[in-house]
Amino acid sequence: MDIAVIGTGYVGLVTGAGLADFGNDVICCDIDPKKIDALNHGEIPIYEPGLDKIVSRNVGEGRLRFTTDLPEAIRRSRAIFIAVGTPPKPDGSADLRYVEDVANTIAKHMNGPKLVITKSTVPIGTGRMIERILDQSGNGHKGSIVSNPEFLREGSAIEDFQKPDRVVIGASDEDSIGLMKEIYAPLHSLEIPFVVTNVESSELIKYAANGFLATKISFINEVAVMCELLGADVQDVARGMGLDSRIGSKFLQAGPGFGGSCFPKDTSAVADIAKRYGYEFQIIEAVLRVNESIKERMVSKVIGALDGEARGKTVAILGLAFKPETDDMRDSPTIPLIKGLQKQGALIRAYDPGAMENSKKIFENITYCGDAYETAEGADALVIATEWNEFRALNLERVKKLLKQPLIVDLRNVYDPHRMKAEGFTYISVGRTEDARSREHVQ
């Protein structure tokens, strides 16, 4: 099918490349000529494992193109995916300016029936708003609205696109549902479930899914606090809970709080949507509050490890991105961590395998290093802030020699506390106490 994907950000690019790989004829559009020029020269503006290969393969085989000519892309396409940004406004609600602009452009240039699909995470009611814009175009062509939320995780987006747990389609007519099934045809043979519902339910599924995952994280982070108070081990508690198939073991990893471009934005947005309809979404409000307090707690944890005094001390931070395998610094928990430590007078050395460039736009007065060992050199404490694989197998002997004192604060629970003690480190992690049993003993 001839498809236009509007917006070549993270979601748009993965979607465009993924749909082309399914055999569709895809044109990706963006108003930013620099971005399109770079893409046309084979440069991928974001860091996502495997994306470069799938883009170049599909460009090479003639199924994927890039353009700034939005009207032409609209005219040639039967289906148009909207994948533009919906950044949060200062009050937490989603800014729909770009979605409205695209809807108006589609309305103006429609030259036949168009399937208009929202891929961006949009507040409930946005599909109907786009429908009204298309209906008012007055050019006699019908625009059908579909909500088709994405569930891509940064770092594994290609796999998530090619083998999703489910495809959600929110539409109001059989023709639209049929066309969507055609677009995603290869997923039928993999027996991927399709959830077909109305537009509003589909829009809410996205917020409810992200809200629930964020709830799991805030929940386990509070359990971790309880573990620290009671002498329990959060890894064991999470395992013991998660093996109950009604709970599930995923997203029960305690850490420094959730970040990224989705959970913070989407949880605030759903709380805001509820308020606008006169309801307080109490669980989500609590999830957000807990996340803030967990992030603050991490600053206290590091300062506590430094015997309560950060002034003049050097802290080595391993990992800056909000999670591994991405260069994304948006709402990374390392931002309040580093700024909080700097405010208390700490000097920061830092290294991240992917997010150094983006972090330079955020932090001041940081010494950036070339690898974990250079970062550790002369530091009073080493903090593992993002669980990149290369931090999971550090040469601990070497790290110990490089540090001023053998102190590691592991905010991602990468190492085993007993092993670290045996290696001669003072090791502080999240929700695990030294006398709690090691995971090795309970597996």
Footprint of ligand UGA on this chain (CB under 6 A)? 121, 150-154, 210, 213, 217, 251-253, 255, 258-260, 262-263, 266, 322-323
227 flagged as catalytic: no
Q: How far apart, in whole angstroms, are the C-alpha atoms of residue 105 and residue 199?
A: 21
Q: How far apart, in whole angstroms, are the C-alpha atoms of residue 6 and residue 91?
A: 26
The helix-helix angle for 199-230 and 126-135 (nearest 10°) equals 160
Q: Which residue has the tokens 């045996």?
A: 422
Among 334, 314, 313, 332, CA closest to 322: 332
Least distance (Å) from ligand UGA to the CB of residue 320? 12
Q: How far apart, in whole angstroms, are the C-alpha atoms of residue 321 and residue 286?
A: 25
Least distance (Å) from ligand UGA to the CB of residue 206? 7
Least distance (Å) from ligand UGA to the CB of residue 308? 26
User: How does 86-122 read in b/e, with b if 16+ C-beta sit within 10 Å?
Assistant: bebeeebbbebebbeebbebbbebbeeebbbbbbbbb
Q: Are the beta carbons of 287 and 211 closer than 8 angstroms?
A: yes
Closer residue to ligand UGA (CB): 133 or 428: 428
Q: Are the beta carbons of 426 and 402 closer than 8 angstroms?
A: no
Q: Are the beta carbons of 366 and 350 closer than 8 angstroms?
A: yes
Closer residue to ligand UGA (CB): 258 or 425: 258
Q: How far apart, in whole angstroms, are the C-alpha atoms of residue 311 and residue 342?
A: 9
Closer residue to ligand UGA (CB): 59 or 208: 208
Closer residue to ligand UGA (CB): 3 or 223: 223
Closer residue to ligand UGA (CB): 295 or 313: 295
Least distance (Å) from ligand UGA to the CB of residue 7? 13
Catalytic residue (one of 29, 227, 262, 369): 262
The residues that are catalytic are: 262
